[in-house]
Amino acid sequence: MCGIVGYVGEREALPIILESLKRIEYRGYDSCGVFVLLEDGNPKLHKDAGTIDHLKKNLSESEYRGNVAIGHTRWATHGEPSKRNAHPHLDGKGEIAVVHNGIIENYQHIKEELLNQGYEFVSETDTEVIPHLINLSLKKFNWQLKEAVREALARLKGSYAIIVAEKGFEGLVAARNESPLIIGVGDRENFIASDVPAVLEQTNRVIYLEEGDLAVVKKDSIYIENGGVEVRREERLIPWTIEDAEKGGYEHFMLKEIHEEPRAIMDTLRGYLAEDRINLGFELEGNAKGKSILMVACGTSYYATLCGKQIIENLARVPVQVELASEFNYSDFVLDGTNIIAMAITQSGETADTLMALKKAKRYGSKTVAITNVLGSSATRIADETIYTGAGPEIGVAATKSFVAQLVIFYLLGLSLAKMPESEFRGYLEELRGMPKIAQIVLDEEDTNIQRHARYLSKYEHAFFVGRGVNLPIALEGALKLKEISYIHAEGYAAGELKHGPFALLTEDTPVVAILTRQPLGKFDQQPFKKSLIKNATQASQNIYEKTLGNVKEIKARGSPVIAIAEEGDEEVEKYVDAVIRVPETSTIFSPIPNTVALHLLAYWTAKERGCEIDKPRNLAKSVTVE
């Protein structure tokens, strides 16, 4: 939520700031602003409601020549999205400027105190107290900016990543507490940003600031302290390239990222699979012995995790409890934490609710694991162990390739913990290794068909998604994706649950997308490695298929149009539904992968048909760093 950036060096700062802001606009896009220290020593501010492109239109860049600048792109928390509430916020003299990501919980109290001392406020934001507090402290510290910032921060409760610029100061001061902040290291120039993609075009040398760090960044020096004591922070080389963070010819990041799903699967596998051995980088089996797994997550990561529960329980017979992080944080922890491995699943590694849940599990004595896509993110610094998904940078607000990469991690976890004959294990690995190809087939062969169905779906205002078993979470994910980018009201349901209430809503105006993939009878028989499971698994998936088909017939009887996701070669299904999206045959346990690719495409093309702002859906932001 909110992206902040800073530059200090020898080049023109403004174009770099605008470019960097554009690259992290996914963090918020309701208003934005820049503050530049001009060559003549004077500061200049420009801000507005709307996007970076909008800001640029009314900005005469030649009037903003200078080598030090900060910028902000906002996702409103306190105060409506408007020019007045946009950052940077200034002190009364207009000489200290602050950009902030986070929430100052005690700002009201501080604001009243400052108002009583004669300070004037021009915005409704919590942030505006910060430049005033710095101003208050400057005199006390003989105009030393670092000391003044340190004292101002000591007054704040809540979360923040801030960058401060001051007239006459040839550098920037940055600090973080519970909100992400990185320093990009350059040659006679340095960068500060909320996220790596902001600096990737300039450098891949990055320092991750830690909780409580305060940094003074100048063009040829970086000083970092924590608790008033100088500290050293490791510089890391980021493996992502700028091309990874660009659209690469696609109209939207989301479409590009859906097309990268096969690669995300492959790269995630590559990180942990050598020959026929899975190595997650730490000793999982010993740690998991006799324990159950608790998983916490939000949004799309939560749905991936619900699917992961079924994958791990099915493969390894280890009990997995899944909790929405935001609920877990305020619920009683009735389990013995020491008997649990707690896993936080988060693409960004910065979701506030998920981080809190991870910390809570840690307090209760659980061994903690972060499953994340972002190197060095906060989750990795809280957890005892980290497993990285290899999805590469995900820019579209709607999570896509990170979801399938998370599924891959669950297959690897399940197989690592599974006790099964070697031949069976190898059989699963073989099928898992084939998943990039399976995902690619959906992209290559069904895209046009899906676009046709999307045109049809786009005319409706309500839709249901149904699935069973391992595909219930995929139905939930399909519905979330559709609603978040196309604004069609969509609900995901267990196929058997519709008749317990939602049936009342079914009419010819409520299309239903039904996941009807199955394990065709006989397939297991051709695979000797699964002999021990053949009977039960075949029976169960056949039952699931038949029961879901039964539900589809009930739905059709209520007049709703049905789009099925079904396997190639399943001709039966055509008799009962209005349209079919075809996916390749897989074992039931792997069917979430092709089904997800199909549903992501369906959501994308439907939103496109409706002319929606796909990469920046209204009211959303990529990483939700507030509770």
Q: What minimum distance in Å lies between the beta carbon of 65 and ligand M6R?
A: 38
Closest CB to ligand M6R among 9 and 376? 376
Quick check: 301 binds ligand M6R (CB under 6 A)? yes
Beta carbon nearer to ligand M6R, 312 or 398: 398
Return the residue of 73, 346, 386, 560 that touches ligand M6R, per CB under 6 A: 346
Q: Does 580 bind ligand M6R (CB under 6 A)?
A: no
Catalytic residue flag (residue 622): yes
2 is catalytic: yes
Pick the closer one to ligand M6R by CB: 399 or 490: 399
Residue 596 interacting with ligand M6R (CB under 6 A):
no
Q: State how far the Cα of 533 lies from the Cα of 531, in Å rounded to an integer.
A: 5
SS3 breakdown of the chain: % helix, strand, coil, rounded to 5?
40, 25, 35
Binding string, residues 269-298; x marks residues near ligand M6R by CB under 6 A:
-----------------------------x
DSSP state of 338: G
Three-state SS string over 526-575 comes to: HCHHHHHHHHHHHHHHHHHHHHHHHHHHHHHHCCCCEEEEEECCCCHHHH
Please give the residue whose beta carbon sits closest to ligand M6R in the complex.
299
Q: Which of 347, 471, 517, 625 binds ligand M6R (CB under 6 A)?
A: 347
447-451 contacts, C-beta under 8 A, 24 or more apart? 447/601, 449/581, 449/582, 450/581, 450/598, 450/601, 450/602, 450/605, 451/605
Residue among 299, 308, 390, 414 that touches ligand M6R (CB under 6 A): 299
Nearest-5° Cα angle at 186, 9 to 204: 140
Query: Smallest gap, in angstroms, from Cβ of residue 34 to ligand M6R?
Result: 27
We find the least distance from the C-beta atom of residue 152 to ligand M6R, in angstroms, to be: 30
CA pair distance 445, 430, nearest whole angstrom: 23
Asked if residue 492 binds ligand M6R (CB under 6 A), the reply is: no
Cβ proximity to ligand M6R, 437 vs 618, nearer residue: 618
- In the complex, minimum distance from the CB of residue 600 to ligand M6R, in angstroms, rounded to a whole number: 10
- Give the binding range for ligand M6R (CB under 6 A) out of 86-94, 208-216, 380-388, 619-627: 619-627
Letter string b/e over residues 118-149, b meaning 16 or more CB atoms within 10 A of that residue's CB: ebeeebebbbbbbbbbbbbbbeeeeeebbbbb
- For residues 385 and 567, which CB has a smaller minimum distance to ligand M6R in the complex? 385
Count of residues that bind ligand M6R according to CB under 6 A: 16
350 residue type, one letter: E
Question: Per rule CB under 6 A, is residue 380 in the interface with ligand M6R?
Answer: no
Binders of ligand M6R in range 195-254 (CB under 6 A): none
- Enter the tokens of residue 618: 């209204």
Nearer to ligand M6R (CB atom), residue 299 or residue 511: 299
With binding defined as CB under 6 A, does residue 348 bind ligand M6R? yes
Closest by Cα among 137, 65, 76 to 101: 76
SS3 for 381-420, per residue?
A: HHCCEEEECCCCCCCCCCCCHHHHHHHHHHHHHHHHHCCC
Q: Which string of b and e fits 180-209 if b means at least 16 CB within 10 Å? A: bbbbbbbeebbbbbbbbbbbbbbbbbbbbb
Residue keyed to tokens 């699963």: 428
Choice from 424, 484, 491, 567 touching ligand M6R (CB under 6 A): 484
Residue 346 backbone phi and psi in degrees, to 5? -155, 120
In the bound complex, what is the minimum distance in angstroms from residue 374's beta carbon to ligand M6R?
8
Task: Choose the stretch contacting ligand M6R; rule: CB under 6 A; options: 266-274, 519-527, 578-586, 617-625.
Answer: 617-625
Q: Which of 137, 351, 560, 595 binds ligand M6R (CB under 6 A)?
A: 351
Q: Which is closer to ligand M6R, CB of 14 or CB of 612? A: 612
HSE, side-chain direction, 13 A CA sphere, residue 405 = 32
Q: Which CB atom, from 299 or from 584, has the smaller least distance to ligand M6R? A: 299
CB 309, min distance to ligand M6R, A:
16
Task: Order across the sheet with 182-185: list the strands.
Answer: 43-49, 31-37, 68-74, 3-8, 190-193, 182-185, 205-208, 235-237
Contact 171, 217 (CB under 8 A): yes
Segment 393 to 422, residues that bind ligand M6R, using CB under 6 A: 397-399
Say which of 22, 219, 483, 622 is annotated catalytic. Answer: 622
Binding site for ligand M6R (CB under 6 A): 298-301, 346-348, 351, 354, 397-399, 484, 620, 623-624
What are the catalytic residues? 2, 622
